[in-house]
Structures are given as structure tokens and as C-alpha cells.
Amino acid sequence: MLANEEKDQQIIKEALDKFKNLKNEYKKLEIKCFLSNENDTLDSYLEFHAGAGGTESQDWAAMLRRMYIKWATNKGFKVELISEHRGDEAGIKSSVIKIFGDYIYGFLKSESGIHRLVRISPFDSGARRHTSFASVWVYPVINEDIDIEILEKDLRIDTFRSSGAGGQHVNTTDSAVRITHLPSKIVVQCQNERSQHKNKETCMNMLKARLYEFELQKKEKASESIENSKSDIGWGHQIRSYVLHPYRMVKDNRTNYENSNPDKVLDGDLDNFLENSLYKLNA
């Protein structure tokens, strides 16, 4: 009040800056209160799959992967490419990345689901509008002391030649590993290491994480609905829509939060979407 009466702009600005900083700190503390589940503090795997639609959907899956990598790197988190199955012309058919950092799984767990893109296709010579779908599935990197029983007889282990980067050695040896857990039909693969042994070890850690998450979902009676949604990467299942034409908007279908700058969102500006999802989960 004194600053207003004396019209001291410097004091007014300092007071507003302090208030803004306090508000931001309060918001951070409030969000941390929402991240209280035992797995929320853990690192996370993100798994991407292109939907039907060939090159268009494969390009969209690659765009989604880039979006999460940009979000992570902008915050100073470490990202590791675990596996990649490239598209025939562009993009990716599937991929897995691992993000290291405090509360990564807690922040990203609500991102699991189908993501929809509407745009003028750069692959269509007629410049027509296309709708594409891709899925994102998020799993915690669980602690090694958590006991998950995996029987050798339940596994099918395949080795194949890596299609990703890594040098001449990787491309001339069957170093990549794919493991199928027969009872659950969960499939994991890794090709980021030159050593087949290391790739197999990473696969086993990923499988352990997937099985742990699967058991948690069953306990929460959510497994059936999640697995059903995974069976159809298309209409009616999307959690978020990214529209680049005829208007520009990203809308989360669960929270109704909208952002009219999709370019920023696709460059990793996800915080408001993540925060609104946390508020919704804890409402």
C-alpha cells in the first residue's frame, strides 16, 4: 500500500516478483504432495507404437517420442534410447526410451494412452488432411529389491540384428534381444548396447517392470480396461488430440485442458497438461 501511495515502481515490481516466486514454490510443493505413491519417485520407461495408417502414423509416433525427449531434456533429465523399430519411409513403428530423474514416473504415468493428430499430411501429394494415432505407455523402472518371479520356461528369447545406430559392429552381429513373456504376452526388446548380454539384462529389467505394473493394475481392477484400450489404437480411445488443421489446438480429453500453441507443446511444453492430470487424479 505504501508503495502504491508513493508510486514507487521499483518496490511494486520487487513485491510482485516475490509474490510470483512464492506462488510458484507453493505450486511445486502442492504437486509433490500429489506424488505420494510408492513408485512416483522412480525413473520411467516410455513405450511408443504407431497406429494403423502406415507412414503417417509412424511419423506421428516419432513426433511424440521427440516431444517427451524435449520435455525431459529441457528439465535437465537424462534420456536413453532402449529400442527402435524404424518405419519403412519415415518415423518409427515402435520404440522404447528410458528417462532418469526424480518423480519421472509420477509426472508421466497419466500420459499412458492413445494420442491423436490431425494435420495436412506432408506425405500426401494432394495436401489432404489426415488423422493419425499413436500410443504411449508409461512404466516405472522398479527397484531391484522388488521380487518378481520370472520362470525361464515362460520366456521366448529371440536375437536379431540391430537396425539402429551404434556403429558397424552392431549392424553385423545379432546383438539385439527380444523377450516374449508367454503367459502375459508382454514383449520387450533392447538394441542400444553392442553386447547381447547387456541387451538381455536390460530386457529382463523392462520385463520385470512391465509385470510389476501389470500386477498393480490387476489389483486396482484397471487392467482389463487398459488392455482393451491397447487393442485398438484409433477412434474413441484417445486421451489427447493435437489439431494442426483446420485450427490449432491441443486438448486433453480427460481434463478438458487446452493449449492453442501446438508447436510449443510438441517442443516439450507439457507441464500444464501433466499438472492438470495430477489434479484430476487427486480430485
For 120, other C-beta atoms within 10 Å of its C-beta total 13
How confident is the model at residue 170, as a pLDDT?
Answer: 40
Cell (9 digits) for 220: 486396482
Is 48 within a domain? yes
Cell (9 digits) for 140: 516405472
Is 246 within a domain? yes
The distance of Cα 221 from the centroid of its chain, to the nearest Å, equals 23
Is 27 within a domain? yes
Whether residue 50 sits in one domain with residue 168:
no
Whether residue 129 sits in one domain with residue 240:
yes
CATH of the domain at 141: 3.30.70.1660
Q: What is the CA angle 73-69-262, rounded to 5?
A: 105
Phi and psi at 232, nearest 5°, equal -140, 100
How confident is the model at residue 267, as a pLDDT?
Answer: 98
How confident is the model at residue 166, as a pLDDT?
Answer: 42
Cα atoms found within 13 Å of the Cα of residue 191, Cβ hemisphere only = 26
pLDDT along the chain (283 residues), means of 10: 59 71 64 81 96 93 98 97 94 97 94 96 90 95 80 94 51 79 94 89 92 79 50 72 97 96 98 91 70
Q: Give the amino acid at 210.
A: R
Whether residue 251 sits in one domain with residue 213:
no
Cell (9 digits) for 272: 500444464
How many angstroms separate the first and last alpha carbons of the chain? Answer: 37
The burial of 21, by beta-carbon neighbours within 10 Å (0-12 exposed, 13-18 middle, 19 or more buried), is given as: exposed
Is 226 within a domain? no
How confident is the model at residue 60, as a pLDDT?
Answer: 97
Strands 155-160, 258-259: pairing is unpaired
Whether residue 163 sits in one domain with residue 29:
no
How confident is the model at residue 155, as a pLDDT?
Answer: 96
Whether residue 118 sits in one domain with residue 60:
yes
What SS3 string covers 173-235?
CCCEEEEEECCCCEEEEECCCCCHHHHHHHHHHHHHHHHHHHHHHHHCCCHHHHHHHHCCCCC
Is 125 within a domain? yes
Is 107 within a domain? yes
Whether residue 122 sits in one domain with residue 11:
no
Is 254 within a domain? yes
> Are 186 and 203 spatial neighbours (Cβ–Cβ below 8 Å)?
no
Distances (CA, A) of 266 to 3, 50, 160, 211, 250: 42, 17, 33, 30, 10
Which of the listed residues 190, 218, 246 is the one where a domain comes to its end? 218
Is 228 within a domain? no
Whether residue 114 sits in one domain with residue 254:
yes
Q: Which domain holds residue 25?
A: 2-34
How confident is the model at residue 103, as a pLDDT?
Answer: 93
Q: Map grid coordinates 502375459 to a residue.
A: 184
Whether residue 202 sits in one domain with residue 158:
yes
Cut 0.85: pTM above it: no
Whether residue 18 sits in one domain with residue 128:
no
